[in-house]
């Protein structure tokens, strides 16, 4: 029996008329996904904290794909006022939203607080995207076939939702905090699908992870800590062992547009340990499927962000 063909970006359908938002689309897997969406003729919005970097990325994509429709918009997920500002601007200019790719994030950084007083990884990776999705929910629900794609990580398996200390005020461990934020991404994904199903909304909520991909994400923490040695080690590891950012973006692209994707799916690479390879449906930890924890996290997230979903 012939081996099933592995999915690549060339397998994406034509996306003409589709509007896709990619947070953190200025670099790494977000950039690669935005590039491929634009190549398939989607209207792509690169949402980035640094407007100049967003404009540069948009110009590069437009240059590589003549006729591509790419827009740069400012979005700082660590600042809820910025999230609301982005949502307001999006509403003024866009009547539909077919795919929201919640891709941007930070990893294993020194202890920092967001503008709103949240631990930076939890505040950016989870709460910022939770608020953004809620504020754009009306556009998603009004768009046929809309999807929310949350980029998680294999690191969710070491995560635990510390409801008694979500902001790590009792002792900070950067990798455990990262794991908590990525577990929160999955709990949010599955709870959003449950609530959409219960309300009869035709919305797909899907998660994915890139495996081990060579991006700037790994170096950010060491750079913030002033550790040039660790930054160099991550750089060497990326060059020797990581797959390309383009390969790492495939699960995002597949989750966003493949017709065989269902709500609640989790997509990752098909290689050993889900570190490399082409996108397939993968498993997750039992903690990620904890419905009670997901419901509790949802309630807490609404309280912390003051964004209340209409589902």
The domain ranges of the chain are 14-303
Q: What residue spans of 136-226 are helical by DSSP H? A: 137-141, 174-199, 217-225
Residue 2, judged by CB atoms within 10 A of its CB (0-12, 13-18, 19+), counts as: exposed
Distance between CA atoms of 294 and 159, rounded to whole angstroms? 14
Residue 24's CB is within 10 A of a number of other CB atoms, namely 30
* Percent of the chain clearing pLDDT 70 (strictly above): 90
The model's pLDDT over 220-245, given as tens digits with 9 standing for 90+, comes to 554 555 556 544 554 545 554 678 99
Q: What is the pLDDT of residue 95?
A: 97
Sequence length of the chain is: 311
In this predicted model, what pLDDT tens digit does every residue of 245-300 receive, in sequence order?
A: 999 999 999 999 999 999 999 999 999 999 999 999 999 999 999 999 999 999 99
pTM confidence score? 0.92
pLDDT band at 311 (very low <50, low <70, confident <90, very high): confident
Q: Do residues 242 and 269 lie in contact, with contact meaning Cβ atoms separated by under 8 Å?
A: no
Task: Give the CA angle between residues 230, 233, 237 to the nearest 5°.
Answer: 140
pLDDT at 20 over 70: yes
**Residues identified as active-site:** 178
Q: Is residue 33 within a helix (H) or strand (E), and if so which, with residue range?
A: helix 28-39
pLDDT band per the 50, 70, 90 thresholds, residue 168: very high
Instruction: Fold for 14-303, please state it.
Output: Rossmann fold (3.40.50)
**Mind listing the pLDDT tens digit for each residue in 125-141?**
999 999 999 999 999 99
Please give the Cα distance from 279 to 265 (Å, whole number): 12
């Amino acid at each position: 029996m012939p081996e099933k063909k592995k999915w690549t970006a060339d397998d994406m359908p034509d996306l003409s008329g589709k509007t896709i938002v990619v947070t953190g689309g200025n670099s790494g897997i977000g950039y690669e996904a935005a590039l491929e969406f634009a190549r398939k003729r989607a209207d792509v919005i690169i949402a980035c904290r640094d407007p100049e970097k967003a404009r540069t990325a948009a110009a590069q994509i437009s240059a590589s794909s003549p006729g591509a429709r790419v827009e740069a918009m400012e979005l700082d997920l660590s600042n809820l006022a910025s999230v609301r500002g982005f949502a307001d601007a999006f509403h003024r200019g866009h009547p539909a939203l077919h795919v929201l790719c919640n891709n941007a994030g930070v990893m294993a950084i020194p202890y920092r607080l967001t503008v709103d007083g949240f631990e930076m990884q939890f505040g950016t990776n989870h709460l910022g995207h939770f608020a953004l999705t809620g504020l754009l929910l009306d556009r998603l629900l009004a768009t046929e076939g809309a999807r929310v794609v949350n980029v998680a990580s294999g690191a969710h398996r070491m995560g635990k939702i510390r409801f008694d200390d979500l902001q790590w005020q009792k002792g900070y461990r950067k990798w455990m905090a990262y794991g908590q934020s990525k577990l929160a991404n999955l709990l949010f994904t599955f709870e959003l699908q449950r609530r959409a199903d219960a309300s009869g909304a035709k919305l797909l909520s899907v998660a994915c992870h890139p495996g081990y991909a060579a991006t700037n994400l790994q170096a950010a923490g060491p750079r913030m800590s002033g550790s040039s040695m660790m930054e160099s080690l991550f750089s060497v590891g990326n060059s020797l062992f990581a797959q390309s950012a383009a390969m790492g973006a495939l699960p995002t692209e597949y989750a966003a547009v493949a017709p065989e994707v269902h709500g609640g799916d989790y997509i990752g690479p098909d290689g050993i340990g889900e570190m490399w390879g082409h996108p397939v449906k993968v498993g997750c930890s039992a903690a990620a499927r904890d419905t009670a924890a997901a419901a509790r996290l949802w309630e807490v997230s609404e309280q912390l962000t003051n964004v209340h979903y209409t589902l």
